[in-house]
């Protein structure tokens, strides 16, 4: 049986860990020891689109992770990746490490802390945590995986197969960047607009009947993002506007994490997502006034927490 470490047990980490535990030997690395204790004692319950309780190992101590783990998935929020990678430095000697954060730049952050072979991933599934040992599986969309450093498409395919064996959806790509950029543009647009308006990702984001309807702004933001991707020489895997329209038609009102963060007055993933897109645009000489406005407004919103 493959040994897998899942570092970070938010909703995405919990969904991955619980499902993978049905096909592999999983150890979860948590930040808090009481979280690890709860997982060891109760297992990890999944409700929603899946319904089972997984038994898995858990620890808050990186030194206690199995040294023979072949795969480590870093599933924390982008804002927590740097400290997590630093905690893992010098551990997991046999593992290929996979990042799954939103935005751009996660791989570089991890690469700076160790020589592990690296895989890139983006995920479109979503879940809601109901406590340390219970996660609800909400959107059963796929996780996309591609090689990054010292890995091949074959490695990506093996991980995708393992994830599928656990009951989640996954797909391997020879080059993840087209998918990563589609998601980057989608997230920068949808998460930014949701954080500023307080709207969950619902029908308003695709509405274009009136001139002042939100759909026009969403499409203009997407078009700016596409221009940056084109200048970066990345072909789009999916049209982010189509992704947006499809998601709003699912009839489920998804609350993007950036909206939840702003409402809870937490730091958001703005820098890895919107910041990365705006900086890429600047580097490539592409004018993105609307994405820049959204980035500045959310940044200022974070600054207002101290008002």
Partner 1 sequence: VKIAVVGCGAVGSLFAANLSLLEDVEVWAFDLARSHVDAINRDGLRLSGAGEVVGRPRATSDAAELPPCDFGIVATKAMHTEPAIAATAHAFSDGCVATVQNGLGNEETLAQQVERVIRGTTFPAGKLREPGHVQWDVKGDTTFGPYDERTPFAEVEKLADACTRAGMPAKAVLDARGPQWRKVIFNASTNPIGALTGLTHGRLCERHDLRALVTGLVDEGKAVAAAQGIELDADPEELIDHAARKDVAYDHKASMLQDVEARRQTEIDYLNGGIVRFGAEHGVATPLNAAIQALVKGVEASWTQS
Which residues make up the interface to partner 1 (CB under 8 A)? 193, 196-200, 202, 204, 211-214, 216-217, 220, 253, 289-290, 292-294, 296-297, 299-301, 303-304, 307
Cβ atoms of residues 222 and 244 within 8 Å:
yes
Q: Shortest distance, CB of residue 260 to partner 1, whole angstroms?
A: 14
10 versus 200: smaller Cβ distance to partner 1:
200
Token couple for 226: 């596409």
Give me the least distance between CB of 159 and partner 1, in Å please. Answer: 38
CB nearer partner 1, residue 42 or residue 216? 216
The residue among 49 and 299 lying less far from partner 1, judged by its C-beta, is 299
**Pairing, β 143-149 against β 96-99:** unpaired
Name the token pair of 3: 């040994």
Pair 67, 261: CB distance under 8 Å: no
> Of 264 and 303, which CB lies nearer to partner 1 in the complex structure?
303
Pairwise CA distance, residues 185 & 58, whole Å: 35
Dihedral class, residue 123 (left if φ above 0, else alpha if ψ from -120 to 50, else beta)? beta
Least Å distance, CB 279 to partner 1, is 13
CA–CA dist 248, 81 (Å, integer): 30
Cβ partners under 8 Å of residue 229, min gap 6: 181, 185, 235, 236
Please identify, using beta-carbon distances, which residue of 51 and 307 lies nearer to partner 1: 307
* CA 74/CA 223 separation, integer angstroms: 31
CB of 293 to partner 1, least distance (A): 5
Q: Which is nearer to partner 1, 62 or 200 (CB)?
A: 200
Minimum distance, C-beta of residue 208 to partner 1, in the bound complex (Å):
11
Residue written as token pair 């049209």: 239
Minimum distance, C-beta of residue 285 to partner 1, in the bound complex (Å) = 18
């Amino acid at each position: 049986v493959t040994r897998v470490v899942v570092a970070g047990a938010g909703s995405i980490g919990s969904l991955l860990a619980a499902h993978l535990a049905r096909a592999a030997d999983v150890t979860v690395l948590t930040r808090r020891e009481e979280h690890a204790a709860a997982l060891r004692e109760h297992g990890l319950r999944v409700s929603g689109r899946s319904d089972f309780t997984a038994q898995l190992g858990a620890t808050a101590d990186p030194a206690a992770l199995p040294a023979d783990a072949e795969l480590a998935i870093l599933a924390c929020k982008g804002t927590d990746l740097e400290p997590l990678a630093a905690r893992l430095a010098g551990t997991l000697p046999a593992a290929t490490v996979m990042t799954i954060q939103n935005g751009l730049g996660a791989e570089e952050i991890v690469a700076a802390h160790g020589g592990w072979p690296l895989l890139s991933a983006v995920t479109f599934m979503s879940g809601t945590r109901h406590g340390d040992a219970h996660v609800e599986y909400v959107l059963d969309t796929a996780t996309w995986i591609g090689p990054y450093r010292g890995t091949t498409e074959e490695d990506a395919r093996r991980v995708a197969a393992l994830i599928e064996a656990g009951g989640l959806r996954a797909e391997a790509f020879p080059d993840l960047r087209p998918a990563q950029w589609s998601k980057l543009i989608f997230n920068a647009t949808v998460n930014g607009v949701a954080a500023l308006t307080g709207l969950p990702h619902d029908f308003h984001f695709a509405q274009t009947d009136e001139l002042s309807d939100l759909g026009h702004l969403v499409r203009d933001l997407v078009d700016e993002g596409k221009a940056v991707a084109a200048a970066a020489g990345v072909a789009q895997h999916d049209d982010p506007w189509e992704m947006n329209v499809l998601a709003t038609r699912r009839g489920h009102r998804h609350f993007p994490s950036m909206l939840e963060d702003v409402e809870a007055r937490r730091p958001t993933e703005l820098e890895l997502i919107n910041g990365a897109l705006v900086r890429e645009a600047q580097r490539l000489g592409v004018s993105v006034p609307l994405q820049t406005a959204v980035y500045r407004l959310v940044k200022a919103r974070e600054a207002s927490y101290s008002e």
